[in-house]
Amino acid sequence: MFTRLKYRNIFSFFFLFVFSFLAQPQLRKINRTFQNFREIYYVLDSDTSVKHGNYKLFYKSNIIENGFYDHNKKTGKWQFFYLQGVFEYEYDFTNSKLLRVSEGNKRYNKELKITPSLFVGSPLKPYLFIVSNIHYPKEAKEKRIGGKVILALKINRKGELEDMYLYQRLNPLLDDEVMRVARLFPSDWRWFPATRNGVPVNDEYRITIEFDPDDL
């Protein structure tokens, strides 16, 4: 009797193991390179448009995004990085909670419960979008005009981009070029709103663009 029960339990365990294995979606690994980016992620074998599983995004040789997709939806803890793999922030998409922010972010104050507005993704993306699409005006080249332009994006409490302006100007030729490119931002980009004591508030997200005539 005991032996029969033992084998029955083993068979039940084996059946559940096989069933759970077969119930798991079959995945296909994707390794995609475009420009200086490289993505490594998984998609459903039955529908390759659906990301499901671990996801990593690299810029050159440095990781800039790391997390997990569940049927095209970000879930769990994601880490985002800037140039040379410098840590920027960690966010829990399952619980909609900001977990960590780089100590170098001057707009973050843990003690005062102040968090800055953040791009949903690596902050390298909006920065590279601008520098990759900017055309150095001919007159600015000839006059060797260089310096910083700081673009300020007005992010409302819903995480929507409402407006933009130049927080720091340099020269009308370069100022206008930065604004021209910024207006081309993809419409599906999103931001996490800034918070004060856990309450979303309107804030700004700033991007510094440097023009160096020696790089021409």
- Predicted local distance difference test score (pLDDT) of residue 32: 96
Structure tokens at 168: 């720091």
Element (H, E) at 43: strand 37-44
More confident: 25 or 79: 79
Measured distance CA(205)–CA(182) in Å, rounded: 13
Range picked from 1-5, 88-92, 103-107 for highest mean pLDDT: 88-92
- Which of 87, 107, 130, 103 minimizes the C-alpha distance to 192? 107
Share of the chain above pLDDT 70, in %: 86
**pLDDT for the residue numbered 15:** 45
Domains of the chain and any CATH numbers: 25-104 (no CATH), 107-216 (3.30.2420)
pLDDT of residue 8: 54
- Say whether pLDDT at 102 is over 50: yes
Give the pLDDT score at 198: 87
In the predicted structure, residue 7 carries a pLDDT above the cut 50 = no
Mean pLDDT of 11-29: 60
Q: Give residue 214's pLDDT.
A: 79
**Tokens for 160?**
């929507």
Residue 1 has pLDDT above 70, yes or no: no
67, amino acid identity? G
Residue 107 DSSP SS3: coil
- Which residue in the block uniquely carries the two structure tokens 């200086």? 36
Q: Which residues contact 30 (CB under 8 A, 6 or more apart)?
A: 39, 40, 41, 42, 43, 48
Q: Predicted confidence band at 16 (pLDDT cuts at 50, 70, 90)? A: very low
> Which one-letter amino acid corresponds to residue 79?
Q
pLDDT at 112 over 70: no
pLDDT tens figures, 141-172? 889 999 999 999 999 999 999 999 999 999 99
Residue 52 has pLDDT above 70, yes or no: yes
Q: Mark residue 197 as left, alpha or beta (left: phi above 0; alpha: psi -120 to 50; beta: remaining).
A: left
Bigger pLDDT: 22 vs 174? 174
Q: Which two tokens stand for residue 115?
A: 């968090």
Phi-psi region of 188 (alpha: psi -120 to 50; beta: other; left: phi over 0): alpha
pLDDT attached to residue 67: 98
Dihedral angle at the C-alpha atoms of 42, 45, 49, 54, nearest 10 degrees? -10
